Every structure is written in structure tokens, then in C-alpha cells.
Amino acid sequence: MAEPVLSVRGLTKRFGALVASEDVSLDLAPGEIHAVIGPNGAGKSTLIGQVCGTIPPDAGTVRLAGRDVTADGAAARARAGLARTFQVSALAMEQTVLQNAVLGAIGAAGRPWRLWRPALSDRDAVATAEAALTRVGLSDHAASRVADLSHGQRRQLEVAVALTLAPKAFVMDEPMAGLGADGSRGMTALLADLKHEAPILLVEHDMDAVFALADRISVLVQGRVIATGTVAEIRANAEVRAAYLGEDA
């Protein structure tokens, strides 16, 4: 296998007595979607927080494109090429859709210190933002306030902002959360397309989407990876069926 874009080794995180991550290791190879599934409270978001630098791990390392970024903060990791979407949308609600996307382009270009010229007159940033909005199908809503968007449109915008970073890897926390059947299908098609741009570490509850998208799946239960494999392997894995899929498989 090619050199992994993202490589996580031995991540461990305790909240008091609770072990939210226990010796978690996984890789994200170029061009793949690596899904992480697991029951509620399994530690999926905590894992993402450690990968992206918002939660400091107690032990373990994170490497991005071969470089150890464990000591870097979240902003530095984003600049290094890690683009994250949130389980609960984190967007500037009073701003427009375009402004949120332009913020991503400004961040990626490292140019927030301009005080005089309007952000929306920065042609490069606006072009990047508009391309990302078109990609996720939000270009008709560029001028809408985020507060006026539907839940599904906000999920799309989360992905668009991540796209403006032109990242080396996407890290997505439940992008389908709260989407209807139509929304899920649209998001599934989008992610299937995006993985050619950069590989995706995908935390997701929607099993149809995971089985349709994932090249590999890791199953997280109580902070531990109990299995990693292809869709077929995970479907066939007895321990996984008992611990997790057993609910509905």
C-alpha cells in the first residue's frame, strides 16, 4: 500500500475513569474512504478531536503526510492540510453562505490580517469559495444567511468550507447526521466524488452510506478498535456483529 496520508498510532484519551480512546491506530491511504463506525459514546468524536488537534491525547501520535503533527494545534494542522467537518455544524450563523466559504479560503491562504479591502473583493478567495459551493450544490444559496438554511444545506456547507482548504485529507464527523433519505443519497454521491481529491476519514452512523462508500472500515467500541477490514470482512466479522451490527443485522 502507498504511504498513508494520515497515520494514527496508539492514541489514548481518558476522561477521569472513562477511557474514551484506548490505543487507537489507523491509517488513511491516498484515494480511500476509511470509515469509523461504532455505537453512541464509542469515542468517535473524541478520536476526531485528537486527530484534528482540538483534544490533546494522553498518549499516541498523529502523522500527516509523513510529518508528526502531534504537537501542533488545530489551526496548524488545518494549515498543514487537514480539513474537518463537525458532527454539530460549526458555522457563522449570522454570515452568508458565501462569507463562510470565503473564510475557509482566507484561512487556507493565511490572509486574515487585511483591515481595509472587503473580503468579498478578494477574487481568488471568492473564486475558491464559489467553486466549493458549486461542488456541493449550494451556489444558488450563496447570498443566504446560514441561519436561514435548512439543516441539510448546513451539512453541505460544512463540506464546502472543508473543500476551500484544498486539503490533503478530510476528516468528517457524521456528515449525514440528521439528513433525510434524499439528503443522504446526495451526500453519499458527493463524498464518493470527493475522495479522489483527498482521502476521507469518515465517522458515520448511516450504515447504508458506510457500506456504499467505505474502502475500509474500522469498528470502535468503548474506545478500542475491535476490527479493521473491507466492507465484506466487517459484515462477516462475528465480534463486530455481536458488539455492534447485531442491533440490526
Ligand X SMILES: Nc1ncnc2c1ncn2[C@@H]1O[C@H](COP(=O)(O)OP(=O)(O)OP(=O)(O)O)[C@@H](O)[C@H]1O
Task: Give the residue, chosen from 111, 189, 208, 230, that forms a contact with other proteins under the rule CB under 8 A.
Answer: 111
CA-closest candidate to residue 173, choices 201, 198, 154: 201
Site for Mg ion, residues 34 to 63, rule: CB under 5 A: 44-45
Task: Give the residue, chosen from 2, 16, 110, 238, that forms a contact with other proteins under the rule CB under 8 A.
Answer: 110
Q: How far is CA 44 from CA 87, 114, 150, 160, 174, in A?
A: 10, 37, 25, 22, 10
Matching residue, cell 497515520: 7
Binding flag, residue 125, other proteins (CB under 8 A):
yes
What's CA 21's distance to the chain center, in Å? 18
Smallest separation (angstroms) from other proteins to the CB of 137: 20
Smallest separation (angstroms) from other proteins to the CB of 105: 8
User: Which of the listed partners (ligand X, Mg ion, other proteins, none) does 98 bind, with a CB threshold of 5 to 8 Å by partner kind?
Assistant: none
- Please state, in angstroms and rounded to a whole number, the distance separating the CA atoms of residues 80 and 76: 6
What's CA 235's distance to the chain center, in Å? 23
Closest to ligand X by CB, 40 vs 121, is 40
Q: How far is CA 102 from CA 30, 78, 168, in A?
A: 27, 15, 19
Site for other proteins, residues 128 to 167, rule: CB under 8 A: 145, 161-162, 164-165
Q: How far is CA 211 from CA 12, 25, 52, 130, 220, in A?
A: 27, 21, 25, 31, 16
Task: Give the residue, chosen from 3, 18, 73, 147, that forms a contact with ligand X under the rule CB under 6 A.
Answer: 18
- Please state, in angstroms and rounded to a whole number, the distance separating the CA atoms of residues 141 and 209: 26
Binding site for Mg ion (CB under 5 A): 44-45, 87
Binding site for other proteins (CB under 8 A): 52, 54, 73-76, 78-79, 83-84, 86, 90-95, 99-100, 102-104, 106-108, 110-120, 122, 125, 145, 161-162, 164-165
Binding site for ligand X (CB under 6 A): 15, 18, 20, 38, 40-46, 87
